[in-house]
Structure 1
Amino acid sequence: MKGRKLLMIPGPIEFEPEVLRAMSAVTTSHVAPSFINSFGNALDLMQKVWLAPNGQPFVVAGSGTLAMDMAVANLVETGDNVLVVSTGYFGKRYQDILERYQTNVTFLDAPVGEIPSLESIENALKSKAYKLVTMTHVDTSTGVLVRPKEIAALAKKYNALSILDGVCSVAGEEIKQEEWGIDVVLTASQKAVGVPPGLALLVASSKAMQTWEHRKTLVPNYYADWKNWLPIMKAYQGRKPSYFGTPPVNLIMALETSLKIIHEEGIAIRVQKHQQLANAFREAITALGLNILPSKKEDAANTLTAIYYPSGVEAGEFLKQLSKLDVIVAGGLLPELKTKYFRVGHMGAVTSIDIISTLSAIEFALVKCGFTFESGIGLSTFQKILNKEIE
């Protein structure tokens, strides 16, 4: 027995062996030539993976929430109007962050499982001048996928900056930051980027950097201030040492390793693989008689799936039965539906074998919980759909 569980939550995820080896390497100095080159390569690769060749990458020790915080801390000032387009828990988190900076937040959401319409977004933007618009590409609490290209175009039309919370989407969903005119795309290391937790990652456009440079007041967050981090990023990209805070050396070496794997595979191919696996998995879940949380299939993310428990199946018992087969999924996150659904992550280094194992465990748990269905229908549907997808 391998003595470990299969981690199928929406982050942290299963990691490539090469990434884990980088994590376990002997830690070097943060000004050693080898590390300077590794950090510089990681920053260069971010521009390629984000498809933002002229963007300014930032890598800072912290979580995805720090990346969210850093993006707005540098761009907003007291009294600015901000529009938050929300599809779940993390849209509300962005509202909470923005209110700390004494901005005027307009919170635009939709019923659970749905997306605010482009018409409603444009109507909000027409109503007053906004400094920026935030959107959650994939809300980890709901598995709902928004279309950032269209929202960024509306923000640009009304002279607002756009921020894409890509914590659960970067390197797993299609993002063309520069082509689509998105001003900041942020994420965290432990999601589809494929690195253990601990790095806040973002790329800012030239327009975003100019907005920061021309702000009238100091950034009211010392750790997040680009004034402290920009010289560091520029130095390492220029293959020179620099210091503000000690970087997490092994995490950054692991980041370089993972970004190399993603770039060599090709970001378009990687996104396509996520789409193929996700589509086959959703069809398998539907075949079992279960419903997903997004109201429309086309609004469902390709990095995770939120699934309602069927009638009569209790959350605690279902998750316990799954754990017996060494498969770990996530429970619900939305407070109002916490015990009504569960979430399966399928991003990064995930394989069809991982998903087959997960589906087998789900079928086992459903049987143990007294839910009836055609035995093996989920597994056979997944393989049938996947075979069609990759023909």
Structure 2
Amino acid sequence: MSSQPDHPFLLIPGPIELDDTVLNSMSHYAQSHVGPPFVNIFGETLSMLRKMLQTSHPSSQPFIISGSGTLGWDLVAANLVERGDDVLVLHTGYFADSFADCFETYGVRAEQLKAPIGDRPGLEEVEAKLKEKRWKMITVTHVDTSTGVLSEIKGLSELVHRVSPDTLVVVDAVCAVGSEEIRFDEWGLDVVLTASQKGLGCPPGLSIVMCSGRAMDVFKNRKTPPASYFASIKNWLPIMQNYEAKKPSYFATPPTQLITALHTSLTQILSRPLAERFAAHREASQRIKKAVTDVGLKQLAEKPENQASGMTAMYLPNDLKAPEVLPNILKRGVIFAGGLHKEIAAKYIRFGHMGVSVTDLKRGDIDKALQALRDGLAEVGYKAP
């Protein structure tokens, strides 16, 4: 049984429910950020991140910095591209718009390749776009939290390396790491950015980025200095290298308790084969999506190959709006999220199923959530088919 106070199950696409051990590790007593105990924890956490993203290449470089996943966009835009560069942003929802805005802030030309809501750009469309000009970078949202659309990363990266081999492949995996498989080296990725509060099962507050050796070479060959101070790889690189080598270092004070919690979470995750974790998320997702279909609801991502394992976005029936349904679900002890996509925000709701809610079946989170969904809809007069 959990030692946490009774509370509604948080089943949104992040932050997610926390394991007791992870939560308890957040209450670690105060310690110096340059003292040997914490230096060892931070160094081990950086090394475990390599295992999590399945990279063993010595030139790959992890970064763990105080901030949200959004800071990862700044790290990319301030360091790996320069004013006037062209970037191709694949659009599957809200977060591509935001990443493009980030690039524009730094004077980078970001062009979006958009798909209809619930879909993703096809590889043929991407190939045609890649041939139009020299793109410094292509970005893709692995799982767009606003739509639940899953992008196929392996095939996309293969295409980019074949058609435009100098183009960096950048994956916004904030809502994917920990619930979707990512093979950094094998798939030829250049950047994967994520955050602590979703599939990694840790409280929010850490921006996490992995860069390939190729990406680091692009940074080292910049013609202009990085366009940010806090998000400068120039400032953070020696810090990360020193900590991973178990040497104290300082640029800005790291959040010691948060990094301790991430250390605990990664230790738990890596204690089992990653393949088992990803299989558990796929199985739970398939069960949830079948139940959603049985209730008569339609997903934003209709095609099975477009459906994420860690969340489900579903249209509400009978012209119902999210504010009419979500309070009924909350009364039953479950928190779902409203819509986020600007064009249809009120028309759908989002169910996050990641981390301990999936891997610890004794909790019963998923069963309780599905029943709350059925009952919450029934309360407003909806009759399932």
**Superposition TM-score, scaled by structure 1 size:** 0.94
Tell me by how many angstroms 1:317 deviates. Answer: 2.1
Aligned counterpart in structure 2 of residue 243 of structure 1, from 246, 250, 253: 250
**Pairs within 5 Å for 1:1-391:** 3-54=6-57, 55-157=60-162, 158=164, 159-351=166-358, 352=361, 353-373=364-384
State the shift of 1:298 in Å: 1.8
Q: What do the CA deviations read for 1:312-361 (whole angstroms, capped 9, x no partner)?
A: 53321211111111210000001111110000000111134211000010
**8 A Cα contact 1:7 1:14, kept in partner:** yes
Q: Is the 8 A contact 1:132 1:155 kept in 2?
A: no
Q: Counterpart of 1:127 in 2: which secondary structure?
A: coil
Letter in 1 for 2:114: D
Q: Are 2:81 and 2:108, in contact at CA under 8 Å, matched by a contact in 1?
A: yes
Q: How far apart in 2 are the matches of 1:74 and 1:314?
A: 42
AA partner of residue 145 (structure 2): T
For the aligned residue pairs, the C-alpha RMSD in angstroms reads 1.2
SS state at 1:285 partner: helix
Deviations 1:149-169 (A, max 9, x none): 111122222020010000000
Contact 1:314-1:369 within 8 A present in 2 as well: no
AA in 2 matched with 1:127:
E
2:336–2:352 CA contact under 8 A, matched in 1: yes
Instruction: Say if 1:330 and 1:344, in contact at 8 Å, map to a contact too.
Output: yes
Gaps of 5+ in 1: 375-391
Secondary structure of 1:95 counterpart = helix
CA contact (8 A) 1:312 1:371 kept: no
Counterpart of 1:110, as a letter, is A
* 3-state SS, counterpart of residue 227 of structure 1: helix
Question: 2:73, 2:194 → 1: CA distance?
Answer: 8
CA-to-aligned-CA distance 1:340-391 (integer Å, 9 cap, x gap) = 00000001111342110000101110110101126xxxxxxxxxxxxxxxxx
Which segments of structure 1 move beyond 4 Å, counting only runs of 4 or more? none
Count matched residues: 374
1:291 alignment partner AA: K
Match of 1:389 in 2: none
Distance 2:144 2:239 in 1: 31
In structure 2, the gaps of 5 or more residues are: none
State the alpha-carbon separation in 2 of the partners of residues 314 and 165 from structure 1. Answer: 29
For the residue of structure 2 that corresponds to 1:4, the secondary structure is coil
1:179 alignment partner, SS class: coil
Deviation at 1:70, TM superposition (A): 0.6
**Partner Cα separation in structure 2 for residue 125 and residue 311 of structure 1:** 42
65-74 vs 163-172, which moves further: 65-74
Distance 1:322 1:119 in 2: 42
* Counterpart amino acid of residue 252 in structure 2: G
* CA distance in 2 between partners of 1:294 and 1:169 (Å): 16
Contact 2:321/2:348, CA 8 A, preserved across alignment? no
Residue identity over aligned pairs, in percent, reads 45
1:2 Cα deviation after fit: 5.0
CA–CA distance in structure 2, aligned partners of residues 327 and 307 of structure 1: 16
